[in-house]
Amino acid sequence: MTLRTRILTFGLTAAMSAVTLLLPGAQAQEAGYPSKPVRIVVPYPPGGFNDTLGRLVANKLGMQWKVPVVVDNKPGAGTVIGTQAVANASPDGYTVLVVQFPFTANPWLYPALPYDTNTAFAPVLLAGRAPMVLAVHAPSPLRSVADVLKTAKAKPDALNYGSSGSGSSNHLAMALFENLSGTRMTQVPFKGSTPMLTALAGGQVELAFDALPHVLPFIQSGKVRPLAIATSQRIASMPDLPTIAEGGVPGYEVSSWHGFVVPAGTPRPIVDRLNHDINAILAMEDVRKIFQEQGVVPDGGTPEEFRRFMDNQLLVWKKVVQEGKITAD
């Protein structure tokens, strides 16, 4: 054996010994997860379904894991503040982020995000989806999607619609509707969903898209009337409500979705543990009842499925934002 061969052999043996020494510790660390408090960051203020979802999961995981699982509300800058906090956290499974619609729209609305949405996070699972509803002021003469299309095409920009602000989910939902239908309407932005829907109920704006959980109380009050649902098929809770596609806009489908991610580099066994345990929570009867009351359909699935879903959403909203030259408030 030459000197060079002996050196190479020694080096390889030493490297393999080092890996052997390190692996048990790494495996033990992952096998012992979680051994300290886990933080679920919700990039929204308390209240609303994202906060409800975070607290539901935190409560169930805490009971199962026998360690504290706490919700940390970090609202601001269109969810960027809370999202950045998780992007900068240690990839050890002790910081989890609740993500929603803005997660895949913000990369196109904010040209200088302090993180890379594609590379800074690892998906855990898609937790649920709430369909968007196209609704009008109850006495409105608009009775269907066909009426909206007819009016909007005859008088471009004459119809005004409410939004929660430029770049919000309901603004982008209407921008996609305009793109696919070849129509133009006038946006009237408000400081949030509730004031926007209050204006719709009062007739200050003529129509709006919003997530079913937000619109439902206004529908139940009789002040707002739904025209169509933005799903591929009609939903069981509103079987008489047609889809947007049925109304004359083929391929239109938008939902307000909710999921969980962790910092990129989180060990796969930990991601799998989170995925398994949150999937089990989503199957619980009491959890499904809360989802149903909020108008959200439980989802679940694998990290890979959630990655594909988010990749598709990134493509959809990139096109809408860039073609419409939309910027965030």
Domains contained in the chain, CATH given:
37-129+256-324 (3.40.190.150), 131-229 (3.40.190.10)
In 3D, which of 115, 43, 59, 102 has the Cα closest to residue 257? 102
Q: CA-to-CA distance for 236 and 248, rounded, in angstroms?
A: 21
**DSSP code of residue 243:** B
Q: CA-to-CA distance for 58 and 72, rounded, in angstroms?
A: 10
Q: Which residues pair with 261 in a beta bridge?
A: 97, 123
Q: Which residues pair with 159 in a beta bridge?
A: none
Q: CA-to-CA distance for 105 and 112, rounded, in angstroms?
A: 13
Q: CA-to-CA distance for 155 and 321, rounded, in angstroms?
A: 24
Tell me, what's the pLDDT at 122? Answer: 98
Taking the CA atoms of 44, 47, 53 and 57 in sequence, report the sign of the dihedral they define: positive
pLDDT grade for 328, boundaries at 50, 70 and 90: confident
**How remote is the C-alpha of 299 from its chain's centroid?**
12
Q: Residues 175-226: pLDDT tens digits?
A: 999 999 999 999 999 988 889 999 999 999 999 999 998 899 999 999 999 9
Torsion angle of C-alpha atoms 34, 38, 42, 43, degrees rounded to 10 = -110
Q: Name the helix (H) or strand (E) containing 122.
A: strand 121-137
Residues 6+ apart with CB under 8 A from 303: 122, 123, 124, 125, 271, 272, 275
Q: Is 126 left (phi over 0), alpha (psi -120 to 50) or beta?
A: beta
pLDDT grade for 30, boundaries at 50, 70 and 90: low
- Angstrom CA distances, 95 to 14, 62, 72, 276, 299, stand at 35, 14, 10, 17, 22
> Which comes out higher in pLDDT, residue 13 or 170?
170
Using an 8 Å Cβ cutoff, are 297 and 291 in contact? yes
Residue 11's SS3 state is helix
| Composition of the chain by helix, strand, coil, percent to 5 | 45, 20, 35
Q: Residues 260-278: pLDDT tens digits?
A: 999 999 999 999 999 999 9
Over the range 157-168, which residues count as b (16 or more CB within 10 Å of their CB) and which as e? eebebbbbbebb
Q: Residues 223-243: pLDDT tens digits?
A: 999 999 999 999 888 899 999
- CA end-to-end span of the chain, whole Å? 71
Residue 95 CB: number of other CB atoms within 10 A? 20
Mean pLDDT lowest among 12-16, 31-35, 192-196, 289-293: 12-16
> Which comes out higher in pLDDT, residue 195 or 26?
195
**DSSP code of residue 144:** S
Using an 8 Å Cβ cutoff, are 94 and 39 in contact? yes
Q: Map tokens 């109920």 to a residue.
A: 201
Q: CA-to-CA distance for 70 and 60, rounded, in angstroms?
A: 11
